[in-house]
Amino acid sequence: MSEGPRKDAVPPLVAHIIHRLDVGGMENGLVNLINHMPPQRYRHAIICMTDYTDFAQRIQRDDVSLHALNKREGKDLVVHGRLWRLLRELRPDIVHTRNMATLESQVTAALAGVRHRVHGEHGWDMGDLDGSRIKTQRLRRLVRPLVGQYIALSRHQLGYLQDAIGVPASRLNHVCNGVNTGRFRPAALPDDSGVREADGGFDIRGRGPLPRGGRDAALPEGFAPEGTTVIGAVMRMQAVKAPEVLLEAFIQLCQRPGHESARLVMIGDGPKLAGLRERLEQAGLTDRAWLPGARDDVPDLMRAMDLFVVPSLAEGICNTILEAMATGLPVTATHVGGNPDLVEEGRTGRLIPAGDVGALTDALAGYLASPETAAAHGTNARARAEASFSMDAMVQGYMDVYDGLVGSAPHPNPSSPQRGEGV
């Protein structure tokens, strides 16, 4: 049995290569991984092919270095020269690329002499919603010999890598995202629940209504009075997330008699936001929908919601689904990518066809007609999040992959430049 790492040893360095560090599911998962991984096990550097935003402030470890390579739009071969020089300087033990946007960096890492290389598949691009595009398949197959281990977040992507790209099972790993069930939790129960909010836990025996003070504090004053049902979503307002499908379903719902209590909250920024607001004005529903853009108080806003919707055209493992489940919300999601790995049809939520406005409208109307069903699905969702999608399980999954490449014991390695350095 191993005696464990020496206290004076330097943990191996993992260089995470991403396109840009900004608000997003993949980026949120990376930050969660770094924040929750024991610092004595691995050090981390984040290399952004373009740049990073204030989202980087969510990194809680001071020893994480952050680098921006300032890649130009389109093809920019020069940026790989900057990446090569940075990798030669950092001398990471592992390079971990993510998604198609950084797959080419596997070549640069190999040329820079990085021995251990990992690639993660977190989701699909708008131009290739299922990975069937010949050009991207060809690139994946071309780079395949350079990748030591793959990490797929969903079973759908796991099967794709094995069947379509030809990755052997010995190099495939399935690691699902984890969720912080202390930060994302249902609205506080009465004091006899047995667990206080400050304890970071929650004894769920039925979600129950959110106290009005909590809802009013999170949402605009007077937006969701007593008796209203808040339908919520948190997403990047871009094509692959299909926010217009949810908006049109809400408009159709409001046109049905008996649904005057419905309210819509869509949190997030992106190129479609202005058009969505304009459509709301056309429909005369600006008083029943709130689209504030990006927010930093997502956990509080989720606790102000009654139903949660993910209308995406493609997904890997959706972090917002996990966060909504942990909050005790019933989730209506499209039957794409990794969504069926998370949402259990008829038990924790509903699965509907992508792009089907009518199906989404019917699913929402069903919940409004049966609050008991919504409450039961929300309770089941919270229990499933706690049992199957813990942050500890996610971190251990990644460390198992890293340990398999470099071993579990730290060893001497040059320290890396500190956060905020460009190249």
- For every residue of 183-248, DSSP letters joined together read TS-PSPPPGGGSS-GGGT----S---PPPHHHHHHHSPTTSS-TT-EEEEEE---SGGG-HHHHHH
CATH class as words, domain 13-178+391-422: alpha beta
128-144 as b/e: b if 16+ CB within 10 A: ebebeeeebbeebeebb
Distance CA 119, CA 97 (A): 5
Q: What is the pLDDT of residue 420?
A: 52
> How far apart, in whole angstroms, are the C-alpha atoms of residue 325 and residue 182?
12
- The answer to whether the CB of 69 falls within 8 A of the CB of 105 is no
Give the pLDDT score at 214: 59
List C-alpha distances in Å: 276 to 127, 218, 290: 22, 22, 11
Q: Answer for the pair 158, 338: CB distance below 8 angstroms, yes or no.
A: no
d(C-alpha 202, C-alpha 382), whole Å = 10
pTM, two decimal places = 0.76
**Residue 131 Ramachandran class (φ > 0 left, ψ -120 to 50 alpha, else beta):** left
pLDDT recorded at residue 283:
97
In eight-state DSSP terms, residue 127 is T
Rounded-to-integer distance, Cα 202 and Cα 185, Å: 7
Stated as kind and residue range, the H or E segment containing 48 is strand 43-48
Angle, helices 319-326/25-36, rounded to nearest 10 degrees: 60
Give the three-class secondary structure for 320. Answer: helix
Q: Look up residue 397 and give its amino acid.
A: G
The identity of residue 417, as a single letter, is P
Q: Which of 136, 138, 120, 139 is nearest to 128 (CA)?
A: 136
- Mark 27-61 as b/e (b = at least 16 C-beta within 10 Å): bbbbbbbbbbbeeebbbbbbbbbbbbeebbeebee
The reported pLDDT for the residue numbered 74 is 83
Neighbours of 300 (CB within 10 A): 15
Any residues with CB less than 8 A from the CB of 332 and at least 6 apart, and which? Answer: 307, 308, 309, 310, 349, 350, 351, 352, 360, 363, 364, 367
Identify the DSSP state of 77: T
Local confidence pLDDT in tens for the 423 residues of the chain: 344 444 558 999 999 999 999 888 789 889 999 999 999 999 999 999 999 999 999 999 999 999 999 999 888 889 999 999 999 999 999 999 999 999 999 999 999 999 999 999 987 776 777 788 899 999 999 999 999 999 999 888 999 999 999 999 999 999 998 999 999 999 853 323 333 333 333 233 233 444 434 576 789 999 999 999 999 999 999 999 999 999 999 999 999 998 999 999 999 999 999 999 999 999 999 999 999 999 989 999 999 999 999 999 988 889 899 999 999 999 999 999 889 999 999 999 999 999 999 999 999 999 999 999 999 999 999 999 999 898 998 999 999 999 999 986 554 443 334 445 444
Residue 53 is predicted with a pLDDT of: 92
Domains 13-178+391-422 and 191-387 share a fold: yes
**Per-residue pLDDT at 71:** 94
For the chain, give every domain's residue range.
13-178+391-422, 191-387
CATH code assigned to 191-387? 3.40.50.2000
> What does the alpha-carbon distance between residue 125 and residue 130 come to, in Å, rounded to a whole number?
8
| Cα separation, 255 vs 77, whole angstroms | 53
